[in-house]
Amino acid sequence: MKEELLVSYAQLIATSGANVQKGQYVLIYASVEQEHFASLVAKECYALGAKRVLVKWTSELKARVDYECADVDELCTLLPQEEAEYKFMADNFPVRILLEDKDPDALKGIDTSKFGKVMQSRILAMKPYREKIENRHQWVIAGVPSIKWAKKVFPDAKSDKQAVELLWKAIIKTARAERGKGINNWKKHDRNLKKRCKFLNSLKLANLHYTSKNGTDLTVGLIPGVIFLGGGEKTIGGIYFQPNIPSEEVFTSPMKGKAEGIVYASKPLVYQGHLIKDFYFKFHEGKVVEVKAKSGQEVLENILKIDDGASYLGECALVPFDSPINNTNLLFYSTLYDENAACHLAIGKGFTNLYPKFEKYTEEQLHSFGINESGSHVDFMIGTEDLNVVGTTIDGKKVEIFKNGNWAF
């Protein structure tokens, strides 16, 4: 990939995505394989006036060694330096930039019960810090190729180099950053998403009914007044940012306890290095009461046990089947990309910033209004070429939202 295109992609992430402001701290999460690109992003953040750019380097190989060798109770324990990092975030609200390059098979074969216990413990331990920074800082997730991820997406590539180059091209294309015009393209894309949101919000929907020939038949209740959102968001301080690059979704948070029926996943789910395939969730009174997967069953069950809210819905996202990502005909094995290929749902945490004038309420109050509370948020894809979504308004009118996988309006 040409250096000038990488630089323009880094500019898109720092400018349109994170929208770094003068005097802000920036925290970049990147694997050790991404030293070069992380440095490009850091340089762009400094150009925007960042006070200090910090990088937290990660390694999937090291993570695997930890799960294989370390005592489970030790892995569950937050060390003083980890506590200090979370306290720093709660005190300073640094911009967070996550460079996504995970190997879908990184933790294949790892003891899933050990993994589940560690994830549950750490998510609960971080919860107080997450609540303090909620809606108060900018953050963005963007993809960057790693060799193992690239080879998973392009198994027929003749070399590692070719696989990485092919994945770079797919990432740049789906980020609308071709020819170095990502920033301008995102402004136009953001306006289009906002138009969708405006129409959906005008309907005052009470529920959404999903049906598909694969067996999906699910009705999800919505919260009065809670909006649909797509594209950019604002912090409580009024800073506009784009949390996902790419993003094709228009989403809302449903009413906790108001989901009935069954929904089948249309794509595999990669969760923390584990691959989950061919699964469904059955809901009753809003809660998952049955789950079945062809592979990854135990991982799914552990996700539902993370906390009391992990088995309730936190998000309903609408994405046309005829989307730029789906039209690549690629399975990315990455939630960031695959969730933006077609409609998806998420179990776990809902989005409190979707409630009108959310900044005037406490987190506890916002959850009491029906927005699900959880330390976990796991997206899974349900969109198919024959998915239909029909909304019912608060006065009982039926409105066709999706027909045969795409927008009906």
The counts of H helices and E strands in the chain are 12, 21
pTM equals: 0.92
Pairing of strands 95-100, 25-31: parallel
Question: Rounded to the nearest 10 degrees, how much is the dihedral formed by the CA atoms of 6, 7, 8, 13?
Answer: 90
Structural domains present in the chain: 3-180 (3.40.1830.10), 192-407 (no CATH)
Residue 8 has what pLDDT?
Answer: 96
pLDDT digits (tens, 9 = 90+) for 223-277: 999 999 999 999 999 999 999 999 999 999 999 999 999 999 999 999 987 889 9
Residue 274 has what pLDDT?
Answer: 86
Strand partners, 97: 28, 140
Contact of 223 with 258, CB cutoff 8 Å: no
Residue located via tokens 């948070």: 253
Q: Predicted confidence band at 1 (pLDDT cuts at 50, 70, 90)?
A: confident
DSSP 227: P
23-27, 77-81, 215-219, 345-349: range with lowest mean pLDDT: 77-81
Q: Which of 15, 228, 320 is nearest to 140 (CA)?
A: 15
